[in-house]
Amino acid sequence: MKRRDFLGGLSSGAALAACSPQTQEENENRPTTQRFSWKIVTTWLPNFPGLGTGVNTLVRYIQEMSGGRIEITVYGAGELVPATEVFDTVSMGNAEMGHGPAYYWRGKSEAAQFFTTIPFGLNAHEQNAWLYYGGGLELWREVYEPFNLVPFPAGNTGVQMGGWFNKPIESVADLRGLKMRMPGIAGEVLRRAGGIPVFLSQPEIYTALQTGVIDAAEWVSPYNDRGLGLHQVARYYYYPGWQEPGPTLECIVNREAWNSLPEDLQAIVRVACQATVVDMTSEFMAGNATALEALRSEESVELRKFPDDVLARLKVITFEVIEEMAAKDELVAKVWTSYRDFMERSQGWQEISEQAYLSTRNL
């Protein structure tokens, strides 16, 4: 009887142990069924090809991978807040997420510009490599820390075009007095070359060029430029896009909103952002090829290459501007050192890999 009672006690104890609460660590790591309803505000017109649809893709990835545990409502530029207010809106927690280019926020931190693109800088592949494997993402988070934001790469258009002009650019002298939509560091470069940079968000560009408020505008590349109708209001289409060789687009998340997510949902957001980089880069590669063919057939469009002496002068000015910024701002200096060192290391490989291959493909 005693033996039977003893064995019975062991069985009961084992059953109770099996049903007992898990340890605190196990509970913290266990997926929950908690649901989140978020908003994402963007700098793009709703559903605009490549950019607006890229946001839709990001949201779809998050919702599908989370099994609907994160539901996100997309607000394009002007639907909830203007494009220029995305950063502040997410920083203050009035929306949980935002999407746009970091160089729009140079007024918050000059260092932010490096996380979109800089003139004559890294291309899309190199930019991704620097961010993910060269310390760039850690620096980006350091820059955004004071603003209550957690940034992620979430798209890249690849090298862009040099822009649309209403007159030919045959020398540096032709830039003098030119009013051009040109954001970021490139805007300051244009100013020092004699031009007048004008910052305009996407919804404003077409009308400003059509009405003569500006004389030229750089936007993205054939896929987006044709979609915005810029070929209808300017004749001369210049390349290469010296000002934006590999522009990264960002997803910013309010820090409190980010910290409210369990670890598995945080992982889903990270992976969805990274997948969006691949998806958008691929979409632009395909879309640009098709759109350029269509633009070439337009009698009103004249495709031109910038003269070499113009590009050479703009490059000299670019690095003068950046070195001056670094001398005035310790955080800019820190980011620029990392960026420049990575670019110098990458150059040797690029010369004998992609650059060498592309130069021989049409032999």
Closest by Cα among 288, 322, 333 to 119: 322
d(C-alpha 243, C-alpha 189), whole Å: 9
- Does residue 86 sit in the same domain as residue 66? yes
pLDDT in tens, the chain (363 residues): 444 444 444 444 444 344 444 555 555 555 568 999 999 999 999 999 999 999 999 999 999 999 999 999 999 999 999 999 999 999 999 999 999 999 999 999 999 999 999 999 999 999 999 999 999 999 999 999 999 999 999 999 999 999 999 999 999 999 999 999 999 999 999 999 999 999 998 889 999 999 999 999 999 999 999 999 999 999 999 999 999 999 999 999 999 999 999 999 999 999 999 999 999 999 999 999 999 999 999 999 999 999 999 999 999 999 999 999 999 999 999 999 999 999 999 999 999 999 999 999 988
- Does residue 127 sit in the same domain as residue 148? yes
- Does residue 130 sit in the same domain as residue 226? no
d(C-alpha 33, C-alpha 355), whole Å: 49
Q: Does residue 277 lie in a domain region?
A: yes
d(C-alpha 171, C-alpha 219), whole Å: 22
Q: What residue numbers bound the domain in which 235 lies? A: 163-243+298-347
**Residues making up the chain, counted from first to last:** 363
Q: Does residue 275 lie in a domain region?
A: yes
Q: For 82, how many CA atoms within 13 A lie in the half-sphere containing its CB? A: 7
- Does residue 43 sit in the same domain as residue 92? yes
- Does residue 65 sit in the same domain as residue 186? no
Write phi, then psi, for 41 (nearest 5 degrees): -105, 145
- Does residue 131 sit in the same domain as residue 72? yes
d(C-alpha 66, C-alpha 109), whole Å: 33
Query: Which residues lie below 8 Å from residue 268, measured CB to CB, with a gap of 6+?
Result: 62, 65, 66, 70
Name the residue with tokens 């592309």: 358
- Does residue 186 sit in the same domain as residue 310? yes
